[in-house]
Structure 1
Amino acid sequence: MDAVFPVEQLRPLHAELFPGPQLEGRHTASCEVHFAPFELPNPNDDVTSEDYEPLSFESPLRLDFIDLPSLNLNVLAGQTFTFPTNPEPGYIDGSIYFVGAHNPVDITRITFGTLTEHGLPVTFEGTWQMEFEASGFQAFETTIHTTLQRRAGTA
């Protein structure tokens, strides 16, 4: 049986918004959510073994093909967007690189707060499909609160 992922250890640092790939002739947005790195037990390994090493969680959550009206944070402020799950048309192509594979993440709701001098508060709601690539962890739903910034070097 797959282990429970320690969701309480996910500590978002910030998110970056930038131009994404084109989809059917339309521009889309991409986003990376960065987390503080941490170690966690490896459910696929024997913790009593001399060779045992815990897993490192240090990759950003990558989201592509986000259908937003703009990349301008002023335009996004105060808005909420909902999205279907993969493979329904309009889904966000999300994944987290963990345990040597890109584990799918279905983001179904993005809520933008009020713009401040530090960035735009943003909330991502969705399901991390951790069992899809045999990571040893169960899928889980989570809500991530962080601050969104435009990626440096993007207009």
Structure 2
Amino acid sequence: MQVTGGGMSSMIHWNPYCNLPPSHHYSLGIAHAPLDLGDDAADPEDETVIDSGFEFGMIDFPGSRSWKRLDGTRSWDPKAQYGDGSIYVSGRHNPVDILELSVKRLSELRYEISALVAVNFSFESAGYKNDRFAFTTTVEYSQMCISIPIWNNPEEVVIPDEWRVPRAWTPETSAEFASRFVDLEDYGDPRMEEHSVVFEPKV
């Protein structure tokens, strides 16, 4: 199916609670999809509502230090993928796994995304059988950011020294940290926000 609208961004994040060291991942947001769920709902009275589009986070793109090198069409081995895809249907959260994914650069920041995904409707008993959907859409890469975590119990957080996470976030320390994961010459100067640092792509 052809879907209209969506966006792509990337983030450097880390999580000491699950021993996830700093890494750079891409995220995709795909607008409302006209899913054909058929008439196999467990409750025929239940109205199907697509509450949000597909959301995918933590996608690893090989050679992804620069958005400029997301060029041509590539596919990813789903067995090597880790993501937190989801879609809300009838108020229920439904996890989504990427089975196939390809990216084709159209112009500057604009890309065509084609994907085959599997939706787990049984996760919160949405009332539909698990299914697969294929879609194609265009997205525009908007930014790379560093999320500055706000810890609920900061005294319990132990960040390994080898992760080299700055103790104080400034334009200088943010740029040095980001340079380990992306090519800064393809991004503008860091913009400091309340809980994040934003780097916009340089075109």
TM-score, length basis structure 1: 0.70
Quick one: which amino acid aligns to residue 43 of structure 2?
A: D
How big is the alpha-carbon RMSD for the aligned residues of Structure 1 and Structure 2?
A: 3.1
Name the CA distance, whole Å, in 1 between partners of 2:73 and 2:100: 11
Instruction: Give 1 or 2 for the bigger CA radius of gyration.
Output: 2
Shift of 1:94: 0.7
Q: Which residue of 2 aligns with 1:147?
A: 138
Q: Quick check: which one's strand share is greater?
A: 1
Contact 1:29 1:71 in 2 (8 A): no
Unaligned runs of 5+ in 2: 14-19, 144-197
Q: Which residue of 2 aligns with 1:122?
A: 113
Q: Quick check: which one's helix share is greater?
A: 2
Aligned 1:3-152 pairs, distance under 5 A:
12-20=3-11, 22=13, 23-35=20-32, 43-47=41-45, 54-68=47-61, 69-70=63-64, 72-84=66-78, 90-116=81-107, 119-151=110-142
Name the CA distance, whole Å, in 2 between partners of 1:25 and 1:118: 25
Shift of 1:137: 0.8
Aligned residues: 138
Shift of 1:27: 1.5
Quick one: which amino acid aligns to residue 112 of structure 1?
A: V
Contact 1:38 1:56 in 2 (8 A): no
TM-score, length basis structure 2: 0.56
Quick one: which amino acid aligns to residue 101 of structure 1?
A: R
Shift of 1:45: 3.5
Contact 1:20 1:64 in 2 (8 A): no
1:106-138: per-residue Cα shift (whole Å, max 9, x none)? Answer: 102221124137921110122111122211111
